[in-house]
Amino acid sequence: MLFAIVLCSVIIFSGIFANRFLNSLGIPALLFFLCLGMIFGSDGIFKIHYDNFEMTKNLCSITLGFIIFYGGFCTRWETAKPIAVKAAVLSTAGVVATAALVCVFCHYILNVGFWESFLIGAVIGSTDAASVFSILKSKNLNLKDNTAPLLEIESGSNDPMSYILVILAITILQGQSPDFVFILFLKQLIIGILSGWLIAKFGIYIFNKTKLISGGNDNLFIIALVLAAYAIPEFLQGNPFLSVYFLGIILGNANIKNKPSMLSFFDGITRLGQIGIFFILGLLAFPKQAAGMFYTGALIFLFLTFIARPIAIFALLLPFRASVGQCLLVSWAGLRGVASIVFAIIAISSGLNLPYDLFHIVFFISILSVALQGTFLPWVSKITNMIDEHSDVRKTFNDYQEDSAIKLIRLNIPEGHPWAGHYIKDLDFPDDGIVILVTRGEERIIPNGCTTLKQGDIITLSLPNMSFADNIELKEFTVDKNNNWVDKKIKDICLESNSMIIAIRREGKNIIPRGNTKILLGDVIVMYN
Protein backbone atom coordinates (compact mmCIF):
# COMPACT_ATOMS: atom_id res chain seq x y z
CA MET A 1 0.00 0.00 0.00
CA LEU A 2 2.83 2.39 0.88
CA PHE A 3 4.46 1.64 -2.48
CA ALA A 4 1.21 2.50 -4.29
CA ILE A 5 0.98 5.86 -2.47
CA VAL A 6 4.60 6.72 -3.32
CA LEU A 7 3.96 5.65 -6.92
CA CYS A 8 0.95 7.98 -7.20
CA SER A 9 3.05 10.84 -5.86
CA VAL A 10 5.84 10.14 -8.36
CA ILE A 11 3.37 10.00 -11.25
CA ILE A 12 1.76 13.33 -10.38
CA PHE A 13 5.10 15.07 -9.74
CA SER A 14 6.48 13.72 -13.01
CA GLY A 15 3.44 14.97 -14.90
CA ILE A 16 3.65 18.45 -13.40
CA PHE A 17 7.34 18.82 -14.21
CA ALA A 18 7.00 17.31 -17.69
CA ASN A 19 3.93 19.35 -18.63
CA ARG A 20 5.84 22.59 -19.22
CA PHE A 21 8.50 20.88 -21.33
CA LEU A 22 5.97 18.93 -23.41
CA ASN A 23 3.82 22.00 -24.04
CA SER A 24 6.83 23.87 -25.40
CA LEU A 25 7.32 21.02 -27.89
CA GLY A 26 3.62 20.92 -28.73
CA ILE A 27 3.22 17.32 -27.49
CA PRO A 28 -0.03 16.53 -25.56
CA ALA A 29 0.88 15.90 -21.92
CA LEU A 30 -1.54 12.97 -21.60
CA LEU A 31 0.69 10.96 -23.93
CA PHE A 32 3.42 11.21 -21.29
CA PHE A 33 1.31 9.36 -18.71
CA LEU A 34 0.52 6.61 -21.21
CA CYS A 35 4.24 6.10 -21.81
CA LEU A 36 4.94 6.36 -18.07
CA GLY A 37 2.49 3.52 -17.46
CA MET A 38 4.32 1.34 -20.00
CA ILE A 39 7.66 2.14 -18.31
CA PHE A 40 6.27 0.87 -14.98
CA GLY A 41 4.44 -2.06 -16.63
CA SER A 42 5.40 -5.69 -17.22
CA ASP A 43 7.50 -4.92 -20.29
CA GLY A 44 8.98 -1.76 -18.81
CA ILE A 45 11.80 -0.95 -16.42
CA PHE A 46 9.96 -1.56 -13.12
CA LYS A 47 8.16 -4.78 -14.19
CA ILE A 48 4.87 -4.18 -12.35
CA HIS A 49 2.59 -6.99 -13.53
CA TYR A 50 -0.97 -5.80 -14.04
CA ASP A 51 -3.60 -7.50 -16.23
CA ASN A 52 -6.91 -6.99 -14.39
CA PHE A 53 -9.26 -5.94 -17.21
CA GLU A 54 -12.39 -6.12 -15.07
CA MET A 55 -11.10 -3.73 -12.40
CA THR A 56 -9.68 -1.45 -15.08
CA LYS A 57 -13.06 -1.39 -16.82
CA ASN A 58 -14.86 -0.35 -13.62
CA LEU A 59 -12.33 2.32 -12.61
CA CYS A 60 -11.92 3.80 -16.08
CA SER A 61 -15.66 3.75 -16.90
CA ILE A 62 -16.57 5.76 -13.79
CA THR A 63 -13.68 8.17 -14.36
CA LEU A 64 -14.69 8.57 -18.01
CA GLY A 65 -18.18 9.39 -16.74
CA PHE A 66 -16.76 12.32 -14.74
CA ILE A 67 -14.74 13.47 -17.77
CA ILE A 68 -17.86 13.43 -19.96
CA PHE A 69 -19.85 15.22 -17.24
CA TYR A 70 -17.20 17.93 -17.06
CA GLY A 71 -17.32 18.27 -20.84
CA GLY A 72 -21.02 19.10 -20.59
CA PHE A 73 -20.66 21.15 -17.40
CA CYS A 74 -18.11 23.56 -18.86
CA THR A 75 -19.95 24.04 -22.16
CA ARG A 76 -21.37 27.56 -22.56
CA TRP A 77 -24.72 26.88 -24.21
CA GLU A 78 -25.07 30.50 -25.30
CA THR A 79 -21.84 30.22 -27.30
CA ALA A 80 -22.59 26.70 -28.50
CA LYS A 81 -26.21 27.26 -29.54
CA PRO A 82 -25.46 28.49 -33.11
CA ILE A 83 -23.63 25.26 -33.95
CA ALA A 84 -25.65 22.85 -31.78
CA VAL A 85 -27.34 21.16 -34.74
CA LYS A 86 -24.06 20.64 -36.61
CA ALA A 87 -22.41 19.29 -33.46
CA ALA A 88 -25.33 16.94 -32.80
CA VAL A 89 -25.12 15.59 -36.36
CA LEU A 90 -21.37 14.98 -36.00
CA SER A 91 -21.72 13.31 -32.61
CA THR A 92 -24.39 10.90 -33.84
CA ALA A 93 -24.38 10.40 -37.63
CA GLY A 94 -20.65 11.17 -37.69
CA VAL A 95 -19.89 8.35 -35.27
CA VAL A 96 -22.10 5.90 -37.18
CA ALA A 97 -20.57 6.86 -40.54
CA THR A 98 -17.01 6.58 -39.23
CA ALA A 99 -17.72 3.21 -37.61
CA ALA A 100 -19.35 1.92 -40.81
CA LEU A 101 -16.42 2.96 -43.01
CA VAL A 102 -13.88 1.39 -40.64
CA CYS A 103 -16.02 -1.75 -40.58
CA VAL A 104 -15.89 -1.98 -44.39
CA PHE A 105 -12.10 -1.48 -44.39
CA CYS A 106 -11.45 -4.12 -41.71
CA HIS A 107 -13.81 -6.63 -43.30
CA TYR A 108 -12.76 -6.36 -46.96
CA ILE A 109 -9.10 -5.26 -46.66
CA LEU A 110 -7.97 -6.89 -43.41
CA ASN A 111 -10.25 -9.97 -43.80
CA VAL A 112 -11.85 -9.64 -40.35
CA GLY A 113 -15.38 -10.95 -39.73
CA PHE A 114 -18.15 -8.41 -40.41
CA TRP A 115 -19.47 -7.92 -36.87
CA GLU A 116 -15.95 -8.12 -35.41
CA SER A 117 -15.04 -5.36 -37.88
CA PHE A 118 -18.07 -3.37 -36.80
CA LEU A 119 -16.94 -3.69 -33.17
CA ILE A 120 -13.56 -2.15 -34.07
CA GLY A 121 -15.31 0.73 -35.85
CA ALA A 122 -17.68 1.28 -32.91
CA VAL A 123 -14.85 1.30 -30.37
CA ILE A 124 -12.87 3.97 -32.24
CA GLY A 125 -15.93 5.86 -33.47
CA SER A 126 -15.76 8.70 -30.93
CA THR A 127 -13.18 11.44 -30.46
CA ASP A 128 -11.33 12.09 -27.21
CA ALA A 129 -12.79 15.06 -25.33
CA ALA A 130 -9.95 15.23 -22.80
CA SER A 131 -7.29 15.65 -25.48
CA VAL A 132 -9.32 18.10 -27.57
CA PHE A 133 -10.15 20.30 -24.54
CA SER A 134 -6.53 20.23 -23.38
CA ILE A 135 -5.09 21.29 -26.75
CA LEU A 136 -7.68 24.00 -27.43
CA LYS A 137 -7.00 25.59 -24.04
CA SER A 138 -3.25 25.07 -23.68
CA LYS A 139 -2.52 26.27 -27.21
CA ASN A 140 -5.16 29.02 -27.01
CA LEU A 141 -6.47 28.03 -30.45
CA ASN A 142 -8.86 30.81 -31.43
CA LEU A 143 -10.68 29.37 -34.44
CA LYS A 144 -12.97 30.85 -37.08
CA ASP A 145 -16.62 29.97 -37.78
CA ASN A 146 -17.39 28.76 -34.24
CA THR A 147 -15.10 25.78 -34.81
CA ALA A 148 -13.88 25.62 -31.20
CA PRO A 149 -17.38 25.13 -29.70
CA LEU A 150 -18.17 22.73 -32.56
CA LEU A 151 -15.16 20.56 -31.65
CA GLU A 152 -15.90 20.86 -27.95
CA ILE A 153 -19.51 19.72 -28.21
CA GLU A 154 -18.74 17.00 -30.74
CA SER A 155 -15.90 15.50 -28.70
CA GLY A 156 -17.82 15.88 -25.45
CA SER A 157 -21.04 14.31 -26.70
CA ASN A 158 -20.05 11.57 -29.17
CA ASP A 159 -18.87 9.05 -26.55
CA PRO A 160 -22.47 8.04 -25.70
CA MET A 161 -23.22 7.17 -29.35
CA SER A 162 -19.99 5.21 -29.65
CA TYR A 163 -20.89 3.37 -26.44
CA ILE A 164 -24.31 2.48 -27.86
CA LEU A 165 -22.69 1.00 -30.98
CA VAL A 166 -20.21 -0.96 -28.85
CA ILE A 167 -23.01 -2.42 -26.72
CA LEU A 168 -25.03 -3.30 -29.85
CA ALA A 169 -21.98 -4.97 -31.45
CA ILE A 170 -21.31 -6.98 -28.27
CA THR A 171 -24.96 -8.01 -28.07
CA ILE A 172 -25.02 -9.15 -31.71
CA LEU A 173 -21.75 -11.09 -31.31
CA GLN A 174 -23.26 -12.80 -28.26
CA GLY A 175 -26.02 -14.12 -30.52
CA GLN A 176 -29.00 -12.04 -29.38
CA SER A 177 -32.04 -11.64 -31.67
CA PRO A 178 -32.65 -8.47 -33.79
CA ASP A 179 -35.71 -7.64 -31.66
CA PHE A 180 -33.62 -7.70 -28.49
CA VAL A 181 -30.96 -5.50 -30.11
CA PHE A 182 -33.54 -2.92 -31.25
CA ILE A 183 -35.18 -2.75 -27.81
CA LEU A 184 -31.77 -2.39 -26.18
CA PHE A 185 -30.97 0.50 -28.55
CA LEU A 186 -34.16 2.33 -27.53
CA LYS A 187 -33.52 1.68 -23.84
CA GLN A 188 -29.99 3.05 -24.14
CA LEU A 189 -31.26 6.32 -25.60
CA ILE A 190 -34.46 6.88 -23.63
CA ILE A 191 -33.23 5.82 -20.19
CA GLY A 192 -29.93 7.65 -20.66
CA ILE A 193 -31.51 10.98 -21.63
CA LEU A 194 -34.35 10.75 -19.12
CA SER A 195 -32.06 9.84 -16.22
CA GLY A 196 -29.70 12.74 -16.87
CA TRP A 197 -32.57 15.21 -17.23
CA LEU A 198 -34.43 14.11 -14.09
CA ILE A 199 -31.30 14.02 -11.91
CA ALA A 200 -30.27 17.47 -13.19
CA LYS A 201 -33.69 18.93 -12.37
CA PHE A 202 -33.53 17.34 -8.93
CA GLY A 203 -30.10 18.86 -8.35
CA ILE A 204 -31.21 22.34 -9.47
CA TYR A 205 -34.25 22.14 -7.17
CA ILE A 206 -32.07 21.19 -4.18
CA PHE A 207 -29.62 24.00 -4.94
CA ASN A 208 -32.15 26.78 -5.53
CA LYS A 209 -35.26 25.86 -3.55
CA THR A 210 -33.82 24.39 -0.36
CA LYS A 211 -31.07 25.14 2.16
CA LEU A 212 -29.79 21.57 2.35
CA ILE A 213 -26.49 22.34 0.61
CA SER A 214 -24.25 24.51 2.76
CA GLY A 215 -20.77 24.72 4.24
CA GLY A 216 -18.89 23.84 1.06
CA ASN A 217 -20.87 20.66 0.41
CA ASP A 218 -21.90 21.75 -3.09
CA ASN A 219 -19.01 19.89 -4.78
CA LEU A 220 -19.79 16.73 -2.81
CA PHE A 221 -23.43 17.03 -3.86
CA ILE A 222 -22.41 17.31 -7.53
CA ILE A 223 -20.23 14.21 -7.15
CA ALA A 224 -23.24 12.35 -5.75
CA LEU A 225 -25.37 13.52 -8.69
CA VAL A 226 -22.78 12.31 -11.21
CA LEU A 227 -22.52 8.91 -9.53
CA ALA A 228 -26.32 8.60 -9.50
CA ALA A 229 -26.54 9.69 -13.14
CA TYR A 230 -24.02 6.99 -14.03
CA ALA A 231 -25.31 4.14 -11.84
CA ILE A 232 -29.09 4.41 -12.36
CA PRO A 233 -29.13 4.09 -16.18
CA GLU A 234 -26.38 1.45 -15.98
CA PHE A 235 -28.64 -0.62 -13.71
CA LEU A 236 -31.64 -0.06 -16.00
CA GLN A 237 -29.67 -0.93 -19.18
CA GLY A 238 -29.61 2.70 -20.25
CA ASN A 239 -26.63 4.71 -21.46
CA PRO A 240 -24.69 6.04 -18.41
CA PHE A 241 -22.45 8.29 -20.51
CA LEU A 242 -25.42 9.95 -22.21
CA SER A 243 -26.95 10.48 -18.78
CA VAL A 244 -23.90 12.18 -17.23
CA TYR A 245 -23.44 14.37 -20.32
CA PHE A 246 -27.02 15.64 -20.13
CA LEU A 247 -26.55 16.19 -16.40
CA GLY A 248 -23.45 18.28 -17.11
CA ILE A 249 -25.04 20.38 -19.86
CA ILE A 250 -28.12 21.21 -17.78
CA LEU A 251 -26.27 21.95 -14.52
CA GLY A 252 -23.51 23.88 -16.27
CA ASN A 253 -25.98 26.27 -17.84
CA ALA A 254 -28.35 26.57 -14.87
CA ASN A 255 -28.32 29.41 -12.38
CA ILE A 256 -26.82 27.64 -9.38
CA LYS A 257 -24.62 29.04 -6.63
CA ASN A 258 -20.83 28.77 -6.56
CA LYS A 259 -20.59 27.50 -10.13
CA PRO A 260 -17.15 29.06 -10.75
CA SER A 261 -15.65 27.24 -7.76
CA MET A 262 -17.29 24.01 -8.94
CA LEU A 263 -15.70 24.44 -12.37
CA SER A 264 -12.28 24.81 -10.76
CA PHE A 265 -12.88 21.79 -8.51
CA PHE A 266 -14.04 19.49 -11.32
CA ASP A 267 -11.30 20.72 -13.62
CA GLY A 268 -8.81 19.43 -11.03
CA ILE A 269 -10.75 16.18 -10.55
CA THR A 270 -10.90 15.64 -14.32
CA ARG A 271 -7.18 16.28 -14.75
CA LEU A 272 -6.38 13.79 -12.00
CA GLY A 273 -8.78 11.27 -13.55
CA GLN A 274 -7.15 11.66 -16.97
CA ILE A 275 -3.72 11.10 -15.44
CA GLY A 276 -4.94 7.98 -13.65
CA ILE A 277 -6.69 6.51 -16.69
CA PHE A 278 -3.77 7.04 -19.07
CA PHE A 279 -1.27 5.63 -16.56
CA ILE A 280 -3.39 2.52 -15.82
CA LEU A 281 -3.96 1.91 -19.54
CA GLY A 282 -0.21 2.17 -20.12
CA LEU A 283 0.36 -0.22 -17.21
CA LEU A 284 -2.14 -2.67 -18.72
CA ALA A 285 -0.34 -2.75 -22.08
CA PHE A 286 2.15 -5.47 -23.02
CA PRO A 287 4.06 -3.92 -25.93
CA LYS A 288 6.34 -6.96 -26.50
CA GLN A 289 3.41 -9.35 -26.73
CA ALA A 290 1.39 -6.98 -28.89
CA ALA A 291 4.11 -5.92 -31.34
CA GLY A 292 2.29 -7.79 -34.09
CA MET A 293 -0.77 -5.62 -33.57
CA PHE A 294 1.10 -2.39 -34.35
CA TYR A 295 0.96 -3.02 -38.11
CA THR A 296 -2.81 -3.61 -38.00
CA GLY A 297 -3.35 -0.65 -35.69
CA ALA A 298 -1.27 1.62 -37.94
CA LEU A 299 -3.24 0.61 -41.04
CA ILE A 300 -6.57 1.26 -39.32
CA PHE A 301 -5.26 4.60 -37.97
CA LEU A 302 -4.18 5.75 -41.45
CA PHE A 303 -7.53 4.76 -42.98
CA LEU A 304 -9.48 6.33 -40.11
CA THR A 305 -7.51 9.59 -40.14
CA PHE A 306 -7.08 10.21 -43.86
CA ILE A 307 -10.14 8.52 -45.39
CA ALA A 308 -12.96 7.52 -43.02
CA ARG A 309 -13.24 10.62 -40.84
CA PRO A 310 -12.69 13.12 -43.69
CA ILE A 311 -15.41 11.42 -45.78
CA ALA A 312 -17.82 11.50 -42.83
CA ILE A 313 -17.01 15.14 -41.94
CA PHE A 314 -17.24 16.49 -45.49
CA ALA A 315 -20.47 14.58 -46.13
CA LEU A 316 -22.09 15.95 -42.97
CA LEU A 317 -20.69 19.51 -42.80
CA LEU A 318 -20.83 20.62 -46.45
CA PRO A 319 -24.68 20.67 -46.43
CA PHE A 320 -24.34 23.26 -43.63
CA ARG A 321 -22.20 25.36 -46.03
CA ALA A 322 -19.08 24.83 -43.96
CA SER A 323 -15.83 25.93 -45.58
CA VAL A 324 -13.30 23.44 -46.88
CA GLY A 325 -10.83 24.73 -44.27
CA GLN A 326 -13.27 24.02 -41.44
CA CYS A 327 -14.00 20.53 -42.77
CA LEU A 328 -10.28 19.74 -43.01
CA LEU A 329 -9.58 21.04 -39.51
CA VAL A 330 -12.52 19.19 -37.92
CA SER A 331 -11.38 16.03 -39.71
CA TRP A 332 -7.86 16.34 -38.32
CA ALA A 333 -9.10 17.18 -34.82
CA GLY A 334 -10.79 13.77 -34.45
CA LEU A 335 -8.31 12.50 -31.86
CA ARG A 336 -8.83 8.99 -30.49
CA GLY A 337 -7.86 8.41 -26.89
CA VAL A 338 -9.05 7.24 -23.52
CA ALA A 339 -12.70 6.64 -24.45
CA SER A 340 -11.78 4.27 -27.28
CA ILE A 341 -9.45 2.26 -25.03
CA VAL A 342 -12.08 2.08 -22.27
CA PHE A 343 -14.69 0.86 -24.76
CA ALA A 344 -12.22 -1.81 -25.96
CA ILE A 345 -11.79 -2.97 -22.36
CA ILE A 346 -15.60 -3.10 -21.95
CA ALA A 347 -15.81 -5.35 -25.03
CA ILE A 348 -13.03 -7.63 -23.77
CA SER A 349 -14.60 -7.85 -20.29
CA SER A 350 -17.89 -9.00 -21.83
CA GLY A 351 -16.29 -12.37 -22.55
CA LEU A 352 -16.21 -12.17 -26.34
CA ASN A 353 -13.86 -14.60 -28.08
CA LEU A 354 -12.32 -12.26 -30.63
CA PRO A 355 -9.86 -13.38 -33.34
CA TYR A 356 -7.61 -10.39 -32.67
CA ASP A 357 -6.13 -8.43 -29.76
CA LEU A 358 -8.65 -5.58 -29.64
CA PHE A 359 -7.08 -3.81 -26.69
CA HIS A 360 -3.63 -3.42 -28.22
CA ILE A 361 -4.98 -2.51 -31.66
CA VAL A 362 -6.97 0.35 -30.14
CA PHE A 363 -4.09 1.19 -27.81
CA PHE A 364 -1.72 1.73 -30.74
CA ILE A 365 -4.37 3.70 -32.67
CA SER A 366 -4.82 6.02 -29.68
CA ILE A 367 -1.06 6.54 -29.24
CA LEU A 368 -0.63 7.43 -32.91
CA SER A 369 -3.68 9.69 -32.86
CA VAL A 370 -2.73 11.67 -29.75
CA ALA A 371 0.92 11.90 -30.79
CA LEU A 372 0.45 12.91 -34.44
CA GLN A 373 -2.94 14.60 -34.63
CA GLY A 374 -2.59 16.27 -31.24
CA THR A 375 0.92 17.54 -31.92
CA PHE A 376 0.12 18.96 -35.35
CA LEU A 377 -3.35 20.35 -34.60
CA PRO A 378 -2.09 23.95 -34.12
CA TRP A 379 -0.11 23.68 -37.38
CA VAL A 380 -3.12 22.31 -39.29
CA SER A 381 -5.21 25.17 -37.88
CA LYS A 382 -2.78 27.63 -39.43
CA ILE A 383 -2.39 26.02 -42.88
CA THR A 384 -6.18 25.70 -43.23
CA ASN A 385 -6.43 29.43 -42.44
CA MET A 386 -8.77 28.76 -39.53
CA ILE A 387 -7.04 30.91 -36.89
CA ASP A 388 -9.12 33.93 -35.83
CA GLU A 389 -7.05 36.64 -34.18
CA HIS A 390 -10.17 38.48 -33.00
CA SER A 391 -11.86 35.66 -31.07
CA ASP A 392 -11.12 34.02 -27.73
CA VAL A 393 -11.40 30.24 -27.40
CA ARG A 394 -12.02 30.66 -23.65
CA LYS A 395 -15.53 31.95 -24.39
CA THR A 396 -16.39 28.41 -25.44
CA PHE A 397 -16.05 27.24 -21.84
CA ASN A 398 -18.03 28.15 -18.72
CA ASP A 399 -14.77 28.93 -16.91
CA TYR A 400 -14.00 31.75 -19.37
CA GLN A 401 -14.78 34.35 -16.72
CA GLU A 402 -12.05 33.00 -14.46
CA ASP A 403 -9.41 33.78 -17.09
CA SER A 404 -10.73 37.17 -18.14
CA ALA A 405 -9.16 40.49 -17.20
CA ILE A 406 -12.22 41.53 -15.19
CA LYS A 407 -12.18 39.97 -11.72
CA LEU A 408 -14.68 40.17 -8.90
CA ILE A 409 -14.24 40.30 -5.12
CA ARG A 410 -16.75 40.15 -2.29
CA LEU A 411 -16.43 42.37 0.80
CA ASN A 412 -18.40 42.46 4.06
CA ILE A 413 -19.45 45.75 5.68
CA PRO A 414 -19.19 44.97 9.43
CA GLU A 415 -20.18 47.16 12.35
CA GLY A 416 -18.13 50.35 12.48
CA HIS A 417 -16.92 50.06 8.87
CA PRO A 418 -16.14 53.54 7.45
CA TRP A 419 -18.25 52.86 4.33
CA ALA A 420 -21.43 52.12 6.34
CA GLY A 421 -24.01 54.92 6.03
CA HIS A 422 -22.42 56.53 2.97
CA TYR A 423 -23.54 56.86 -0.64
CA ILE A 424 -21.55 54.73 -3.08
CA LYS A 425 -20.74 57.82 -5.14
CA ASP A 426 -18.92 59.36 -2.15
CA LEU A 427 -16.55 56.42 -1.63
CA ASP A 428 -13.07 55.88 -3.05
CA PHE A 429 -12.60 52.27 -4.06
CA PRO A 430 -9.21 50.61 -4.60
CA ASP A 431 -7.86 50.32 -8.16
CA ASP A 432 -10.74 52.37 -9.56
CA GLY A 433 -13.27 49.63 -8.78
CA ILE A 434 -17.03 49.69 -9.17
CA VAL A 435 -19.75 48.11 -7.00
CA ILE A 436 -21.95 45.82 -9.11
CA LEU A 437 -23.97 44.05 -6.41
CA VAL A 438 -25.13 44.69 -2.84
CA THR A 439 -26.44 41.67 -0.92
CA ARG A 440 -28.58 42.76 2.02
CA GLY A 441 -29.97 39.73 3.83
CA GLU A 442 -32.00 37.82 1.23
CA GLU A 443 -32.18 40.88 -1.05
CA ARG A 444 -29.83 41.35 -4.04
CA ILE A 445 -29.59 45.02 -5.10
CA ILE A 446 -28.16 46.37 -8.35
CA PRO A 447 -26.68 49.63 -7.00
CA ASN A 448 -26.24 53.13 -8.36
CA GLY A 449 -24.34 56.13 -7.05
CA CYS A 450 -27.12 57.08 -4.63
CA THR A 451 -27.31 53.63 -3.00
CA THR A 452 -26.41 53.84 0.70
CA LEU A 453 -24.29 51.04 2.13
CA LYS A 454 -25.48 49.65 5.44
CA GLN A 455 -23.95 47.66 8.26
CA GLY A 456 -24.14 43.94 7.41
CA ASP A 457 -24.16 44.47 3.62
CA ILE A 458 -22.07 42.25 1.40
CA ILE A 459 -20.81 44.12 -1.67
CA THR A 460 -19.33 42.70 -4.87
CA LEU A 461 -16.66 44.84 -6.51
CA SER A 462 -15.45 44.65 -10.10
CA LEU A 463 -11.69 45.16 -10.02
CA PRO A 464 -8.81 44.57 -12.41
CA ASN A 465 -6.60 41.58 -11.52
CA MET A 466 -8.48 40.54 -8.38
CA SER A 467 -9.62 37.05 -7.46
CA PHE A 468 -13.12 35.79 -8.05
CA ALA A 469 -15.42 35.78 -5.05
CA ASP A 470 -19.09 35.64 -6.00
CA ASN A 471 -21.57 33.75 -8.13
CA ILE A 472 -21.64 36.37 -10.86
CA GLU A 473 -22.21 35.54 -14.52
CA LEU A 474 -21.10 38.05 -17.12
CA LYS A 475 -22.21 38.58 -20.71
CA GLU A 476 -20.43 40.56 -23.39
CA PHE A 477 -21.09 41.88 -26.87
CA THR A 478 -19.36 44.08 -29.42
CA VAL A 479 -20.90 47.45 -30.31
CA ASP A 480 -21.45 47.56 -34.09
CA LYS A 481 -22.68 50.32 -36.38
CA ASN A 482 -26.31 49.27 -35.93
CA ASN A 483 -26.21 49.65 -32.15
CA ASN A 484 -28.00 52.78 -30.90
CA TRP A 485 -25.50 53.13 -28.04
CA VAL A 486 -22.75 54.38 -30.38
CA ASP A 487 -21.38 57.79 -29.27
CA LYS A 488 -23.74 57.95 -26.28
CA LYS A 489 -22.70 58.44 -22.67
CA ILE A 490 -23.61 55.66 -20.28
CA LYS A 491 -25.75 57.99 -18.17
CA ASP A 492 -27.89 58.70 -21.26
CA ILE A 493 -28.52 55.02 -22.03
CA CYS A 494 -31.72 53.48 -20.70
CA LEU A 495 -30.69 50.14 -19.18
CA GLU A 496 -33.01 47.54 -17.70
CA SER A 497 -33.34 47.78 -13.91
CA ASN A 498 -31.53 44.45 -13.41
CA SER A 499 -28.63 45.19 -15.80
CA MET A 500 -25.38 47.07 -15.44
CA ILE A 501 -22.32 47.80 -17.60
CA ILE A 502 -19.32 46.80 -15.49
CA ALA A 503 -16.47 47.07 -18.00
CA ILE A 504 -15.56 48.24 -21.48
CA ARG A 505 -12.75 46.68 -23.52
CA ARG A 506 -11.33 49.17 -26.01
CA GLU A 507 -8.24 48.54 -28.15
CA GLY A 508 -6.94 45.91 -25.76
CA LYS A 509 -7.49 48.00 -22.64
CA ASN A 510 -10.09 47.55 -19.91
CA ILE A 511 -12.07 50.64 -18.91
CA ILE A 512 -14.08 50.88 -15.71
CA PRO A 513 -17.23 52.74 -16.84
CA ARG A 514 -18.61 55.92 -15.30
CA GLY A 515 -21.71 57.90 -16.12
CA ASN A 516 -19.81 60.21 -18.48
CA THR A 517 -18.01 57.36 -20.31
CA LYS A 518 -18.91 57.43 -24.00
CA ILE A 519 -19.61 54.20 -25.89
CA LEU A 520 -17.61 53.96 -29.14
CA LEU A 521 -17.96 51.81 -32.24
CA GLY A 522 -16.08 48.53 -31.74
CA ASP A 523 -16.19 48.63 -27.92
CA VAL A 524 -16.68 45.28 -26.18
CA ILE A 525 -19.29 45.77 -23.46
CA VAL A 526 -19.16 43.49 -20.41
CA MET A 527 -22.51 43.41 -18.60
CA TYR A 528 -23.88 41.91 -15.42
CA ASN A 529 -27.54 40.85 -15.54
pLDDT in tens, 150-191: 888 888 789 999 999 999 999 999 998 888 889 999 999 999
Q: How far apart are CA 300 and CA 215, in angstroms?
A: 51
pLDDT for the residue 392: 54
Residue 398 lies in a domain: no
For the ranges 50-54, 142-146, 229-233, the maximum mean pLDDT occurs at 229-233
> Are 308 and 369 members of one domain?
yes
* Domain stops at, among 351, 374, 393: 393
451 or 138, which is more confident:
451
Instruction: Answer whether residue 422 shows pLDDT above 90.
Output: no
Residue 399 within a domain: no
Instruction: Give the range of the structural domain holding residue 509, as residue numbers without chain letter.
Output: 473-529
Lowest mean pLDDT among 32-36, 223-227, 263-267, 507-511: 507-511
One domain, residues 361 and 280: yes
Residues 183 and 211 in one domain: yes
pLDDT given for residue 466 in this prediction: 43
Q: Where are the alpha helices (DSSP H) in 139-258?
A: 147-157, 159-173, 178-209, 218-235, 240-252
Same domain, 326 and 450: no
Distance CA 191, CA 187 (A): 6
* Position with higher pLDDT, 394 vs 427: 427
| Domain assignment of residue 270, yes or no | yes
pLDDT of residue 391: 59
* Total domains, the chain: 3
Q: Give residue 138's pLDDT.
A: 66
Helix/strand/coil for 459: strand
User: Is the model's pTM score more than 0.85?
Assistant: no
* Residue 122: predicted pLDDT: 96
pLDDT of residue 215 exceeding 80: no
CA distances from 142 to 127, 128, 306 (A): 20, 19, 24
Q: Which of 85 and 278 is assigned the larger pLDDT?
A: 85
Position 27 scores a pLDDT of 61
- 449 vs 158, residue with greater confidence: 158
pLDDT for the residue numbered 508: 63
Q: End of a domain among 471, 492, 514?
A: 471
**Class of residue 111 by CB neighbours under 10 A (exposed 0-12, middle 13-18, buried 19+):** exposed
Q: Let me know whether 442 and 477 are in one domain.
A: no
Indicate whether 261 and 160 sit together in one domain.
yes
Asked whether residue 226 is assigned to any structural domain, the reply reads: yes
Helix (H) / strand (E) element for 439: namely: strand 434-440
Q: Are residues 236 and 141 in the same domain?
A: yes
Between CA 345 and CA 366 the distance in angstroms is: 14
